[in-house]
Amino acid sequence: MSAPAPVARRPRIVAGNWKMHRTSPEGAALARELASLNAADPASATAPVVVLCPAAPVLESVSRALAGSGMALGAQNLHSEPQGAFTGEVAGAMLRAVGCTWVIVGHSERRHGMGETDAQVAAKLRAAQRDGLTPIVCVGETLAEREKGETEAVLVRQVTVAYHGLAMAAARATAIAYEPVWAIGTGKVATPEQARDAHKVVRVTLDRVLGAGAGQATAILYGGSVNAGNAASLFAEADVDGALVGGASLEAASFWKIVSAASAAG
């Protein structure tokens, strides 16, 4: 009997969330540095998808700096409506027009700092897809929730509200970032076991909400104090498909070490 065909690995993705750092010229310079590091790397079948997510006014200069590099541009947020009287907001079509193909949705700094609700995150996920953007949907528990033993319940709720009613194909065309809030910007990274357990909860929930196979088909990134020193041990977990990186994405050398760790993980 012949051996079963190997199952293709989910895509690895390493995304840099620059948050409210880097002006337009600074962002272009950082993107150019990353593009040269990318060009200097030998082509590899295991190279991850690399996505840079600068602040909205910096998108255009980074878009120009990334042209032809193979790296992708992402935004940090979008409004769920396609256009209208929403002062200070940015629509998906505007992000597409400037070269974005990805967008972060439901980052904890928006959920907890700006009161974004699960329902708004669900609407933004759908808006991103309507406007031709791949959403990276962020989920994760606070420290208080973890200490009360609520991690699983929080993840189940956030994933269920975001994905309920989505077609399987649409769900597969998203990525999820498990970002424990207590690990973001704190230097306290989750252990590989904590990341593995949380990613399993997310996969099982996707199966329950969308049907069998959804969990295995969806790329799940870990985010929260990922750096050059800890990335390899996280990527060694079969359920960790990449990383959403904040602080360590602001310097080309540190970010590229994380990208290289993802390549090396195969």
Contact status: 76 vs ligand PEP (CB under 6 A) = no
Q: Give 17 or 129: the residue with its C-beta nearer to ligand PEP.
A: 17
Give the closest residue to 73 by CA, choosing from 110, 31, 130.
31
Least Å from the CB of residue 244 to ligand PEP: 5
Contact status: 80 vs ligand PEP (CB under 6 A) = no
Q: Give 71 or 214: the residue with its C-beta nearer to ligand PEP.
A: 71
Rg of the chain (C-alpha set): 18
Q: 193 catalytic, yes or no?
A: no
Segment near ligand PEP (CB under 6 A), from 59-67, 156-164, 243-251, 252-260?
243-251
Catalytic residue, candidates 79, 107, 116, 141:
107
Instruction: Output the six-digit token pair for 182.
Output: 């207590």
Q: Give 214 or 255: the residue with its C-beta nearer to ligand PEP.
A: 255
Least Å from the CB of residue 226 to ligand PEP: 5
Contact status: 140 vs ligand PEP (CB under 6 A) = no
Q: 107 catalytic, yes or no?
A: yes
| Total residues interacting with ligand PEP, rule: CB under 6 A | 14
**Could you give the CA distance from residue 74 to residue 96 in angstroms, rounded to a whole number?**
9
Per DSSP, the three-state class of 205 is: helix
Give the closest residue to 235 by CA, choosing from 247, 219, 251, 249.
219
List CB contacts of 94: < 8 A, sequence separation 6 or more: none
The rounded Cα 159 to chain-centroid distance in angstroms is 14
Ranked by CB distance to ligand PEP, the top (closest) residue is: 246
Give the closest residue to 60 by CA, choosing from 87, 24, 21.
24
Contact status: 242 vs ligand PEP (CB under 6 A) = no
Site for ligand PEP, residues 164 to 223, rule: CB under 6 A: 179, 184-185, 223
Q: How buried is residue 194: exposed, middle or buried, by Cβ count under 10 Å (0-12/13-18/19+)?
A: middle
Least Å from the CB of residue 252 to ligand PEP: 16
Give the closest residue to 228 by CA, choosing from 251, 247, 248, 250.
248
Least Å from the CB of residue 178 to ligand PEP: 10
Least Å from the CB of residue 76 to ligand PEP: 9
Map tokens 């998108």 to a residue: 59
In this structure, the number of other CB atoms found within 10 A of the CB of residue 228 comes to: 16
Contact status: 106 vs ligand PEP (CB under 6 A) = no
Map tokens 């593995």 to a residue: 196
Among 103, 246, 259, 261, binds ligand PEP (CB under 6 A): 246
**Could you give the CA distance from residue 112 to residue 11 in angstroms, rounded to a whole number?**
29
Contact status: 99 vs ligand PEP (CB under 6 A) = no
Residues that bind ligand PEP (CB under 6 A): 17, 19, 179, 184-185, 223-226, 244-248
Q: What residues act catalytically?
A: 107, 179
